[in-house]
């Protein structure tokens, strides 16, 4: 503390600039990996836009793409923490499957037989709470076996992948279950399952203010502790770019309208002129993803739990010797995974308006791919949550784009596999180059 106080009394410390574009970028302290991923995403989107003759980058298409990516992206935030702590979770697809079936059975059959009829308010919330508890329970069970009994996570979750999928069959006797609560269906997005134009602007405004606020706060604290400051031009650029991007996205989402038939119905019911256009704004699944990303990032970087996870991933022995309760930490990562799977399952079920036997199948592969493309390292200790979310978007934009231009599932799988290897290959190459010529 004394040192900090000493430094604080001195002049503002500036980063020593390096020459060239790299130097300028370095001064903004932008995470180059994240920046690269954003660039890759932009290239993919623009590429499909060119191939499709300029129709791809429409708001309605991007909303579909975002909703399709949300389920995988939500789970990938937790997968980052699992992989960072040198474990793996192969059971996520089956977990999504079983919670999906629990939601559907609850709303179609079980709740009614428990005396909670269709007219009961907050039926959807009861189902959601039970589903999340089931997800957390399975996660805790697996986490306990991994952390306290010491069975390797690969084995435990591989067992989970097989046996939990089997349980899905027993729950449903093999048939799809339909008949969800209408409110629950809003989790799936669509015209009514979106937050609407006004709220979207509000979210955009709050978001851009938050960017400015965070930058300001960050600068204040750096000065307080005598850390190097970004040059002012970099701060302003970041603030303008960040808040601009958020407001731009809001405007973009608001340029997506309700299907005209539905809008006319609504207009007729509310005494509005026919032919009005109603903005959908951000769809619910994307808002859920936003919330989850912020929450898990906060848990991962600002809370003790997250610091323990990264510490354990960097060096398990050192973490244990430093007095961290490593077992409890690992157990918690799996509980978090269970909860995230339950949230993702809610979106999948709501989107399908049914639970089928194969909901969530092979999610584990897409989720791990998203985390890895997003820069999470299997060596442990390295990985960011926004990176994984971006990774999920990169993978889904490929799948959606290929389907959009008429390539079917086998072709989409080939592309996804190639991109996965390419992304990790480029990354390793970049890292090796970085260590070989240290500056």
Partner 1 sequence: MRRTFAVFAALTLALAACGGGGTTASGGGGGGTACKVGISWNNFQQPRWAATDKPKMFEAIQAGGGTVVGDPDANLDSQRQLSDVDTLINKGAQVLVLLAQSQTAILPALQKAKDAGIPVIAYDRLIEDPYVLYITFDNVGVGKAEADFVIKKVPTGSYVLIKGDKGDPNAATFLPMGWDQAGLKDKVSSGAIKIIGPAEGTYTDAWKTEKAQANMEAIIDQANAAGQKIDAVLAENDSTALGVAAALTGKSYDPYPAVSGQDGDPANLNNVALGKQYVDVWKNSNELGKAAGQAALALCKDKDPGKVTISVDASVAPLAGNTAKDFQTPGGKTVKSIILQPTPVTAETLDKVISAGWYATKDQICKGADTTKVPACK
The per-residue b/e assignment along 357-366, b for 16 or more CB within 10 angstroms, e otherwise, is: bebbbebbbb
Q: Is 55 in the site for partner 1 (CB under 8 A)?
A: yes
Measured between alpha carbons, how far is 401 from 139 in angstroms, rounded to an integer? 34
Shortest Å, Cβ 54 to partner 1: 9
Q: Please report where in the chains the tokens 């985390």 appear, as a residue.
A: 371
How many positions of this chain bind partner 1 (CB under 8 A)?
45
Q: Is 218 in the site for partner 1 (CB under 8 A)?
A: no
Write out the two tokens for 216.
């300001």
Q: What angle do CA 213, 218, 221 make, to 5 degrees?
A: 125
Instruction: Please report, as residue ranges, which positions from 106 to 165 form the binding site for partner 1 (by CB under 8 A).
Output: none
Interaction mask 66-105, partner 1, x per CB under 8 A: --x-------------------------------------
Q: Which stretch binds partner 1 (CB under 8 A): 6-14, 20-28, 50-58, 80-88?
A: 50-58
Q: Which stretch binds partner 1 (CB under 8 A): 205-213, 386-394, 395-403, 417-425?
A: 395-403
- Strand-pairing partners, residue 355, are 177
- Member of 21, 406, 432, 439 binding partner 1 (CB under 8 A): 406
- Which residue lies nearer to partner 1 by CB, 31 or 358? 358
Q: Which stretch binds partner 1 (CB under 8 A): 123-131, 324-332, 371-379, 404-412?
A: 404-412
Q: Is 51 in the site for partner 1 (CB under 8 A)?
A: no
Shortest Å, Cβ 51 to partner 1: 12
Shortest Å, Cβ 123 to partner 1: 15
Q: Is 58 in the site for partner 1 (CB under 8 A)?
A: yes
Given a contact cutoff of 8 angstroms between Cβ atoms, the answer to whether 292 and 273 are in contact is no
Q: Whose CA is closest to 247, among 280, 282, 205?
A: 205
Interaction mask 186-215, partner 1, x per CB under 8 A: --xxxx------------------------
Instruction: Please report, as residue ranges, which positions from 239 to 278 form the binding site for partner 1 (by CB under 8 A).
Output: 258-259, 261-262
The per-residue b/e assignment along 42-81, b for 16 or more CB within 10 angstroms, e otherwise, is: eebbeebbeebeeebeebebbbbbbbbbbbbbbbbbbbbb
Interaction mask 354-393, partner 1, x per CB under 8 A: x-xxxx-x--------------------------------
Q: Whose CA is closest to 142, among 101, 99, 98, 92?
A: 92
Shortest Å, Cβ 175 to partner 1: 5
- Member of 30, 51, 176, 186 binding partner 1 (CB under 8 A): 176
Q: Is 317 in the site for partner 1 (CB under 8 A)?
A: no
Write out the two tokens for 439.
């500056």
- Member of 9, 173, 435, 437 binding partner 1 (CB under 8 A): 173
Q: Is 352 in the site for partner 1 (CB under 8 A)?
A: yes
Torsion of CA 144, 154, 413, 382, to 10 degrees: 80
Query: Which positions lie near partner 1, rule CB under 8 A?
Result: 52, 55-56, 58, 60-61, 64, 68, 169, 173-179, 188-191, 258-259, 261-262, 348, 351-354, 356-359, 361, 399-400, 403-410, 413
């Amino acid at each position: 503390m004394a040192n900090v106080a000493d430094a604080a009394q001195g002049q503002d410390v500036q980063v020593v600039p390096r020459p060239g574009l790299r130097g300028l970028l370095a001064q903004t302290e932008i995470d180059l990996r994240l920046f690269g991923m954003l660039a890759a995403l932009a290239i993919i989107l623009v590429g499909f836009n060119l191939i499709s003759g300029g129709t791809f980058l429409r708001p309605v298409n991007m909303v579909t793409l975002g909703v399709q990516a949300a389920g995988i992206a939500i789970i990938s935030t937790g997968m980052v923490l699992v992989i960072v702590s040198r474990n793996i979770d192969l059971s996520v697809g089956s977990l999504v499957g079983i919670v999906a079936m629990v939601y559907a059975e609850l709303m179609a059959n079980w709740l009614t037989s428990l005396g909670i009829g269709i007219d009961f308010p907050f039926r959807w919330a009861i189902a959601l709470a039970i589903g999340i508890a089931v997800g957390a329970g399975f996660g805790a069970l697996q986490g306990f076996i991994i952390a306290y009994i010491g069975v390797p996570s690969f084995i435990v979750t591989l067992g989970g992948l097989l046996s939990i999928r089997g349980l899905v069959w027993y729950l449903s006797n093999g048939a799809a279950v339909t008949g969800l609560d209408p409110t629950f269906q809003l989790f799936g997005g669509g015209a009514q399952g979106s937050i609407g134009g006004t709220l979207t602007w509000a979210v955009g405004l709050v978001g851009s203010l938050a960017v400015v606020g965070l930058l300001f706060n960050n600068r204040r604290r750096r000065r307080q502790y005598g850390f190097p400051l970004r040059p002012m031009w970099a701060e302003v650029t970041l603030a303008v770019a960040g808040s601009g991007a958020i407001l731009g996205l809001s405007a973009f989402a608001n340029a997506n309208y309700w299907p005209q038939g539905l809008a006319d119905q609504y207009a007729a019911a509310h005494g509005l002129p026919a032919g009005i256009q109603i903005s959908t704004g951000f769809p619910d699944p994307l808002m859920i993803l936003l919330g989850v990303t912020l929450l898990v990032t906060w848990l991962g970087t600002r809370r003790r739990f997250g610091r323990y996870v990264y510490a354990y991933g960097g060096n398990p022995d050192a973490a244990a010797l430093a007095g961290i309760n490593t077992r409890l930490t690992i157990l918690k990562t799996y509980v978090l995974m269970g909860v995230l799977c339950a949230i993702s399952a809610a979106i999948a079920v709501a989107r399908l308006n049914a639970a089928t036997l194969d909901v969530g199948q092979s999610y584990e592969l897409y989720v791990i791919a998203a985390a890895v493309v997003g820069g999470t390292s299997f060596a442990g200790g390295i990985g960011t949550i926004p990176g994984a979310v971006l990774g999920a978007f990169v993978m889904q934009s490929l799948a959606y784009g290929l389907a959009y231009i008429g390539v079917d599932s086998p072709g989409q799988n080939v592309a996804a596999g190639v991109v996965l290897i390419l992304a990790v290959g480029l990354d390793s190459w970049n890292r090796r180059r970085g260590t070989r010529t240290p500056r």
